[in-house]
Chain A
């Protein structure tokens, strides 16, 4: 009896696997044929597409694409390639026209389907092609979001790319939302809108958005906000102070470098480290004695940053050589020695 059960189970499994193998083989074969056809069509459409995009011939590409079975796949592929290689092309009128005409319909259908992966892909493409007509549908979806999962996060990014500032209000509902998501939203908004939202955020006391706004000023190099950032150095919240120092380091500029003074003696090592870094990139001569002191800091990163800071000064190599031989602290001597030869590295 047991033998029969096992024999039939195994035969059943083998049968199931053979059927699955046949199905997958046919699927693969069809996929390969389709892919070959799409690649062939893609190559033949590249020239008319380029002519269309640069405004030479507005008809040839449209006439050809209208007759093709894989129309939306090809338009998506061609536009994805175009926006990837041409800077700021997402905002081009031709991209807008083609995506609205051939992709907004299929994308609306995909967004309503139960295929998670395809919905995510579609959200990325809507962002790439700036398909404005879909923003209402996306806002409706945002209203239904209950959890800040991967799809909700991409939805926020896509809406921000369509200049929907309401995503920032939505994020306020989630105090633990990652700063990255705020930054992604700020960076996708039109520059003028982003600056308005930053002004609003800086005036607020909601820490997550304030922190993100200060961070964004640094990443987008918004020098006009430097006074606000310097003002935040007096904030009682440590994270805000550290983020402000980080931003000033990125801006390479301060109206009042004297405001840096207390941070060289801070109990927080990150504050000491950023003070050293700012003094370095801004070559603030007056802080050389402080940097010399930080060379023997108990934290490796502070010593590293102090020595790196010296390397920015005209006489930095000379000073580092001197410290490598005469500093009273062994760790300071080692660090100075390293920075005489070391090159800053790490960029890909």
Chain B
């Protein structure tokens, strides 16, 4: 009995130390992020990209929309892309063997005709059944192919694309009109030294979107969606900006990312063997950059450029999080060589360990923490004082950091228009430790186990469509 008690005592202090360390790393990232967002927050975005909109030197972009059973959202997504303000771009929808009418909707809506494209085989993909071009908008194309997963679909899109940069977006995302300009700006400003830009993704549930344009930003009422908004603030505003400033950003959201095509082809395209193809590609690009001792960079832009539909039910959210955790595990495993490897400089010594210990194994530590809190307070498993300390640290790690992210968003971007939005988000963020975070932890641990049971799929989110 004594030995088990001392085991729990040691475990308690371990978890406390872990949480304090993790929280401090968040605060450090927060302070790194703050300077950039503070400095750039007041920039008139319209003025700063106006010149690019009419400049022939602005690189043309291929927008890739991989779609699997997206008959509800694909047409509105493409319509929103047509409204993009950009000198030259093409839209390529890749129907990855959908079982619904994704391709038919596209063909009907945009009057598409089959065109025998002379495809380049930069990257191996599943068989392409047919390629189409729109009669109404010749820069809209459609690929119908045998199902091979999202990564395979994106690779097929890369093969068909004509332009030197491509932008990968989700089939049910709405891009802001100047999203491509804002994302291309760091690439142009750096004279091509930036090879990837990732934009902020925002949750569109609740907002008024008409004709594929976000007209009014309104907070949703569903607490599950509200908490995801807070979570996105925490991930995008604190984590990604901080990492981007040190050029060790490992994640560019699959919902929106702009890539140098040549670099991606050179790296071998998207990896079909992982569900976290977006993160895996970015890690691989970093790996190559470090091995080549290149000065090229991967950058994140804090301004929101992409709106997406978030899961509004716990069951869909659960399967999404399991998939994300599985993707993270697979990526870290595939690139385990980089971990603590000084050859990969700050990527190997900072970023990879951060993702391993905080993003991946964090769930295990947190689960142990919750177990000790409950065990300590109700079953005298540990000294209630220790359980109390752990409880407070958990609040700090969960709620207070998330609340800080809400305040950072308001301090810098302030996208939600009403004072009540800010207050509501803040207090929901404080509630995180008590219901939302435990759920996330359980699902993330489930995700760890799911890595063993490998099965490739697109995710089973039921789309309602976000645009009227």
**Which residues of A are interface residues toward B (Cβ below 8 A)?**
2-3, 6-7, 9-10, 13-14, 17, 20-21, 24-25, 28-29, 31-32, 115-118, 120-121, 124-125, 128, 150, 153, 157, 176, 178-180, 183-184, 219, 300, 303-304, 331, 334-335, 337-338, 341-348
- Compute how far the CA of A157 lies from the CA of B55 in the bound complex, rounded to whole angstroms: 13
B389 near A3 (CB under 8 angstroms)?
Answer: yes
By beta carbon, the residue of chain B nearest A348 is: B86
Q: Given A24-B422, A338-B115 in contact, is the A121-B42 Cβ separation under 8 Å? A: yes
Q: Given A3-B389, A29-B419 in contact, is the A121-B43 Cβ separation under 8 Å? A: yes
A346 near B422 (CB under 8 angstroms)?
Answer: no
Q: Given A157-B51, A343-B133 in contact, is the A120-B89 Cβ separation under 8 Å? A: no
Partner of A179, one of B57, B85, B407: B57
B139 within 8 A of A: yes
B137 within 8 A of A: yes
A14 near B56 (CB under 8 angstroms)?
Answer: no
By beta carbon, the residue of chain A nearest B40 is: A117
CB distance from A155 to the nearest CB of B (A): 14
- Compute how far the CA of A204 lies from the CA of B56 in the bound complex, rounded to whole angstroms: 25
Mark out the residues of chain B between 93 and 132 whose CB falls within 8 Å of any chain A CB in the assembled complex: 113, 115-118, 120
Identify which of B215-223, B284-292, B391-399 touches chain A.
B391-399
A345 near B90 (CB under 8 angstroms)?
Answer: yes
**Chain B contacts for A334, CB-based, 8 A:** 116, 118
Partner of A346, one of B88, B414, B418: B88
Partner of A345, one of B137, B191, B385: B137
Q: Given A17-B407, A25-B422, A28-B422 in contact, is the A7-B392 Cβ separation under 8 Å? A: yes
B414 near A28 (CB under 8 angstroms)?
Answer: yes
CB-defined A-B contacts under 8 Å, sample of 30: A6-B392, A7-B392, A10-B396, A10-B400, A13-B400, A17-B400, A21-B422, A24-B407, A25-B423, A28-B422, A32-B418, A115-B42, A116-B39, A116-B40, A121-B47, A124-B44, A128-B47, A179-B57, A180-B55, A183-B57, A300-B118, A335-B118, A341-B133, A343-B138, A345-B138, A346-B60, A346-B88, A346-B162, A348-B87, A348-B89
Mark out the residues of chain B between 48 and 78 whose CB falls within 8 Å of any chain A CB in the assembled complex: 48, 50-51, 55-57, 60
B120 near A300 (CB under 8 angstroms)?
Answer: yes
Partner of B411, one of A14, A24, A176, A338: A24
**Chain A contacts for B393, CB-based, 8 A:** 6
Partner of A184, one of B51, B86, B137: B51
By beta carbon, the residue of chain B nearest A28 is: B419
**Chain B contacts for A128, CB-based, 8 A:** 47
- Compute how far the CA of A338 lies from the CA of B87 in the bound complex, rounded to whole angstroms: 25
- The prevalent SS among residues of A at the interface is helix
Best-surrounded residue of A24, A29, A303 (most CB of chain B within 10 A)? A24
For chains A and B in complex, what number of residue pairs have CB atoms within 8 angstroms? Answer: 132
CB distance from B392 to the nearest CB of A (A): 5
A180 near B57 (CB under 8 angstroms)?
Answer: yes
CB distance from B191 to the nearest CB of A (A): 4
B2 within 8 A of A: no
CB distance from B328 to the nearest CB of A (A): 29
- Compute how far the CA of A120 lies from the CA of B50 in the bound complex, rounded to whole angstroms: 13
**Chain B contacts for A120, CB-based, 8 A:** 43-44, 48
B18 within 8 A of A: no
Mark out the residues of chain B between 164 and 217 whose CB falls within 8 Å of any chain A CB in the assembled complex: 188-189, 191
B139 near A28 (CB under 8 angstroms)?
Answer: no
- Compute how far the CA of A2 lies from the CA of B13 in the bound complex, rounded to whole angstroms: 12
By beta carbon, the residue of chain A nearest B86 is: A348
- Compute how far the CA of A125 lies from the CA of B138 in the bound complex, rounded to whole angstroms: 37
Partner of B133, one of A31, A179, A342: A342
B270 within 8 A of A: no
Complex A-B, nearest 4 residue pairs according to Cβ-Cβ distance, in ascending order: A345-B138, A117-B42, A345-B139, A124-B47
**Chain B contacts for A347, CB-based, 8 A:** 88, 139
Q: Given A118-B42, A348-B84, A348-B88 in contact, is the A180-B188 Cβ separation under 8 Å? A: yes
- Compute how far the CA of A179 lies from the CA of B60 in the bound complex, rounded to whole angstroms: 17
B163 within 8 A of A: yes
B48 near A124 (CB under 8 angstroms)?
Answer: yes
**Chain B contacts for A345, CB-based, 8 A:** 90, 133, 137-141
B342 within 8 A of A: no
**Chain A contacts for B137, CB-based, 8 A:** 345
B410 within 8 A of A: yes
**Chain B contacts for A117, CB-based, 8 A:** 39-43
A342 near B404 (CB under 8 angstroms)?
Answer: no
